[in-house]
Chain A
Amino acid sequence: MAYQMQVLIENFGYLLIGAVETLKITSIAVLMGLFIGTFVGMGRLAKSRVLSYPSSVYVEFLRGTPLLVQIFLIYYGLPSLGLNLKAFPAAVIALGINSGAYVAEIVRAGIQSVAKGQYEAARSLGMTHSQAMRYVILPQAFRNILPALGNEFIALLKDSSLVSVIGITELMKSGQIVISRTFASFSIYGGVALIYFGMTFTLSRIVRYAEKRMAIS
């Protein structure tokens, strides 16, 4: 046990470097997921089938298949179509695309949570559909879905451990590397779990704080 603790202490810095990589991947994927999710979420509510049908297919397919398969498909599958991606962009894209599907459902619910009269009031002032969405509906929708988005980001941070399988030295992979050298599985996986927990806990506190601040104004 003393050996296990010593290994953890000696390698903690190394694990933290992995955690920074995890944060990096997750942050970029989150932004990508938000971007995709906003448009796909609006698309699902569009009157025109040309928009709503592909949006639904996107959401259903990505939520109905394992993330691990999606990661392999992008990293190992795309090169056979002539599209070679390095591990890092492949990881970010896989996570971002996947998250986009979940965010889309959240955004859709958020838009539906804003009273229909808000949209009509905006249109009655001469705003176009896009203006009404951008200035009136989405700001209110995002406020309503902030907790759900926070949960989605926490889920994504945890799911990002899956990209260790394509050789990205994020937190999970860093732990595995240390273990392969030292065989201190218990303390290192324990340490990895604690660092994940530290990040998700902080994130959930930040979301709660943001929620409170927004509720005031």
Chain B
Amino acid sequence: MSEILKIENLHKYYGDLHVLKGINLHLDKGEVLVVIGPSGSGKSTMLRCINHLEEYQKGRIIFEGKVIDPNSSDINRVRTKIGMVFQHFYLFPHLKVIDNLILAPTKVLNMEKEEAVEKAKKLLDRVGLLDKIEAYPSNLSGGQQQRVAIARALMMDPDIMLFDEPTSALDPELVYEVLAVMKDLAKSGMTMIVVTHEMGFAKEVADRVIFMDDGNIVAEAPPDEFFSHPKNDRMREFLNRILNI
């Protein structure tokens, strides 16, 4: 399989706070990587560095064979290829669902409006929300908003999707519908990095799981091995905690 993403010796500081301490990671096309780890370990920061929502001080990120240059205007083109889904959805509240979906394709990719609308309908159908096309985000449940957010990211035809705790702001009964969409996406061959504590999801669709602690990746393994043989006490303790809730 061909490599799509490689992170080399990534260091990130917030002032004096050393948040990422030399991250190395590679990802093949079509792979699904699940990231777990305690709060504050740097999971979100790592994701945000990949599409350069966050600056970093040292290291390189290579996406589709090219080093991402944060200072080049090319960053906008790169971002269209890297879809991102946030914990709090961040749908645009002043726009209807359909306009949330077609805004970036028409403005950034110069797609014709009719074409964008057609595509939006297909994607909304795929996430089961075609009937909400004219709704405003505030009239949707959290689970519906997150599914729209996923469809919005897919409108750009990304080559990789980043998910930052996509279900942790949801009521428990709504988690399932979002995970179902993500599983469907994984099965369709999408490359994904998913920060989540949904271990069921990890076991079912992840190719690899990594455990982050204090700015480092401290363990990396396929899910069955990962969960059956935790590498150290800290990981075992963490797994026990999240598997028991």
Q: Is the pairing of A and B real?
A: yes
A residues in contact (CB < 8 Å) with B = 115, 117-118, 120-128, 131, 135-136, 139-140, 143, 217
A217 touches B136 (CB 8 A): yes
- B140 to chain A: which residues have CB within 8 Å? none
Q: Provide the residues of chain A in CB contact with B86, threshold 8 Å.
A: 117, 120-121
A125 touches B152 (CB 8 A): yes
Chain A hits for B149, CB < 8 A: 121
Q: What is the chain A residue whose CB lies nearest that of B93?
A: A140
Bound form: Cα–Cα A125–B104 in Å: 6
Q: Which residues from 152 to 208 on chain B have a C-beta closer than 8 Å to any C-beta of chain A?
A: 152-153, 156
Closest to A116 in B: B90
Known A-B contacts A117-B86, A121-B86, A123-B53; A128 and B94 likewise in contact (beta carbons under 8 Å) = no
For residue B25, CB closer than 8 A to chain A, the reply is no
- A123 CB contacts on chain B under 8 angstroms: 53, 76, 79
Instruction: Give the interface size class of chain B.
Output: 20 to 34
User: Contact between A126 and B76 (Cβ–Cβ < 8 Å)?
Assistant: yes
Q: Does B51 contact A (CB under 8 A)?
A: yes
A124: contacting residue among B53, B93, B107, CB under 8 A: B53
Q: How distant is B164 from chain A, measured CB to nearest CB, in Å?
A: 11
B76 touches A124 (CB 8 A): no
CA distance A117 to B152 in the complex (A): 15
- Nearest residue, chain B, Cβ from A128: B76
Q: Shortest distance in angstroms between A1's beta carbon and chain B's nearest beta carbon?
A: 55
A50 to B88, CA, bound (A): 34
B92 within 8 A of partner (CB): yes
- Point out the residues of chain B lying under 8 angstroms from A131, CB to CB: 107-108
Asked if residues B156 and A126 are in contact (CB atoms below 8 Å), the reply is yes
Main secondary structure of the interface of A (DSSP, over half): helix
Check A125/B94 contact, CB under 8 A, given A131-B107, A135-B103, A135-B107. Answer: no
Q: Are A124 and B51 in contact (CB under 8 A)?
A: yes
Cross-chain contact of A127 among B51, B91, B107, B153 (Cβ < 8 A): B107
Cα(A128)–Cα(B92), bound, Å? 16
List chain A residues, Cβ under 8 A from B51.
124
Q: Can you pick out 29 interface pairs between chain A and chain B where the beta carbons lie within 8 Å of each other?
A: A117-B86, A120-B86, A120-B90, A121-B92, A121-B149, A122-B92, A123-B53, A124-B82, A124-B83, A125-B80, A125-B103, A125-B108, A125-B152, A125-B153, A125-B156, A126-B77, A126-B79, A126-B109, A126-B156, A127-B76, A127-B107, A128-B76, A131-B107, A135-B107, A140-B92, A140-B93, A140-B94, A143-B94, A217-B94
Proximity string of chain B (67-96) to chain A, C-beta cutoff 8 Å, 1 when within and 0 when not: 000000000110110111010101111100
Contacts of A128 in B (CB 8 A): 76
| Closest CB in chain B relative to A212 CB, distance in Å | 16
- Minimum distance in angstroms from B7 CB to a CB of chain A: 18
Chain B residues near A115 (CB, 8 Å)?
88, 90
Task: Please list the 5 inter-chain residue pairs (A to B) with the smallest Cβ-Cβ separation, ordered nearest first.
Answer: A126-B80, A121-B90, A125-B104, A124-B84, A117-B90
CA distance A126 to B107 in the complex (A): 9
CB-CB under 8 A from B93, the residues of chain A are: 140
Set of chain B residues within 8 Å of A120, measured between Cβ atoms: 53, 86, 90
Residue in A125, A136, A139 with the greatest tally of chain B CB atoms within 10 Å: A125
Known contacts A125-B156, A136-B103, then 17 further A-B pairs from the complex at CB < 8 Å, ordered by chain A residue:
A117-B86, A118-B90, A120-B86, A121-B86, A122-B92, A123-B79, A124-B82, A124-B153, A125-B80, A125-B104, A127-B108, A131-B108, A140-B92, A140-B94, A143-B94, A217-B94, A217-B136
